[in-house]
Amino acid sequence: MKWMSKRFTFVVIPDANQTVQRYRVTGLILTLIPITIILLTICSILFIYLFSGKVAHLKDLSNQLASSEENYELLLTERDEIIGTLEADLFAVSVQAEQVRSKLTDISELELQLKEIAGIEDSTVRISSSSPTDKGGTGGEEIPLLSSTTNAKADHTLQNLTTMSLAMDDMKPSLEATIKGIKKYQYILEITPTIWPADSRKITSTFGVRRDPFSGRSSLHSGLDLGGDRGDPIYASANGVITLSENTYPQGNNIIIDHGRGIETRYLHLNKRLVEVGDKVTKGQLIGELGNTGRSTGPHLHYEVIVNGTQVDPRPYIKEDREDK
C-alpha cells in the first residue's frame, strides 16, 4: 500500500534548447495503466472474435436468403407454367364439353323425331344451359387459384358437365322407352303388307267394279292383278303365319297369310305353292310362283288385302320395293 502512495517523477528531455518536462505520478496510476492496456487488449480480442463469428453467420444467412430467392423464383416460374398448361387444358376441355353438349342436344332432337315416328309421347326434359341446381344455399371462403376469366371458364365448363351428366341420366330411361317404342313400330311395319308381292309392276286389273272377262257382266274385283311370266317369284308382303295353302276352283293354287291385327293377304292363281299351313314367313320371303291356275285368262297374280274379313284396295298398302323394306 505504501508503494501505491509513493510518487514517481518522469523527466522528458526535449531538444537541448528546450525546457525539461517533469511529470509526477503515483504508484497507483503506474499500476492502473498496464492493467487498463491488458483489459483493452482482452476486450479487443473478444470483440474481434465475436464480430468475426457474426460476420460468418451473416454471410451464411445472406447465402441462404439468396438461395431461397432463387428457389422462390423457380417455383414462381414453374407455377406460371403449370397455370398456363392448366388454362390451355381447361380451354380444350371447355371446347370439348361444348361439342359434347351440342351432340347431346342433336341426339335429343333425333330421339324426339324417332318418338314422333313411333308415336311415343315425349316427356323428356330437354338439355338447356340453365343451372342444374336452384334450391338450397351454399357458402364458404372463396380462394381464387387462377384468373377471374379462367375461373369463369372453369365454372361454366363444370356447369356444362354437370348438366350433361344429369341429361344423360335422364336420357337413359327415355332412350329405353324410345327403343321399346321403335321396336314396336318396327314390328308393326314387319307385319303390315307394304311391299310388292311380285317383281312385276304391270297392273292388269285394279280393285273395284269391272266387267268380268268370262261372263261380260259387271262384278266386284276383290284384289289387284299383276301380269307376268309363269314361274316368276311371289313374295310374302309382310311377316305372318300361313293359314291356307291349297288348290281350289276358281282360285287355283292360292295361299293366305295371317299377319295379325286383323290383316290378311291372299295370293291366287299360283303356278306352285312353296309353303304349307303353319309355316311362319317373313316379309320378302319366297312363297310361290306366278301362274295361270283356276279361273284365269293368263299368267298373273291376283293379290288381296283383307282387313277384319273384308277385302280392301291393296294399292294404298304398297309403299316400297322388296329390296327397300
Question: pLDDT of 84-116, one tens digit each?
Answer: 887 777 777 777 777 777 777 777 777 777 777
Q: How far does the chain reach from its first CA to its final CA, in angstroms?
A: 141
Which grid cell is 251? Answer: 282360285
Q: Which helix (H) or strand (E) segment is 308 a member of? A: none
Q: Per DSSP, what are the bridge partners of residue 224?
A: 303
Domain boundaries 203-324, corresponding CATH code: 2.70.70.10
Backbone angles phi, psi at 112, to 5 degrees: -60, -40
Amino acid at 172: K
Contacts 24+ apart (CB under 8 A), 112-117: 114/178, 114/181, 114/182, 115/178, 115/181, 117/182, 117/185
**Domain ranges in the chain?**
2-79, 203-324
Q: What is the pTM of this model?
A: 0.53
Provide the pLDDT for residue 202.
93
pLDDT at position 46: 82
262, 274 contact by CB (below 8 A): no
Residue 182 vs residues 138, 190, 191, 240: alpha-carbon distances, Å: 44, 12, 14, 19
On average, the pLDDT of the chain sits at 81
Lowest mean pLDDT among 141-155, 160-174, 259-273, 279-293: 141-155
Residue at grid coordinates 282360285 = 251
Position 148 confidence tier, pLDDT thresholds 50, 70, 90 = low
Give the range among 111-120, 210-219, 264-273 with minimum mean pLDDT.
111-120
305 pLDDT tier (thresholds 50, 70, 90)? very high
C-alpha span between 210 and 224 (Å, rounded): 12
Residue 134: pLDDT above 50? no
Residue 324's pLDDT band (cuts 50, 70, 90): low
Report d(CA 140, CA 125) in Å as an integer: 32
pLDDT (tens digit per residue) in 221-245: 999 999 999 999 999 999 999 999 9
The mean per-residue pLDDT over the stretch 176-180 comes to 77
Residue 118 has a pLDDT of: 65
Tell which wins on pLDDT, 125 or 318. Answer: 318
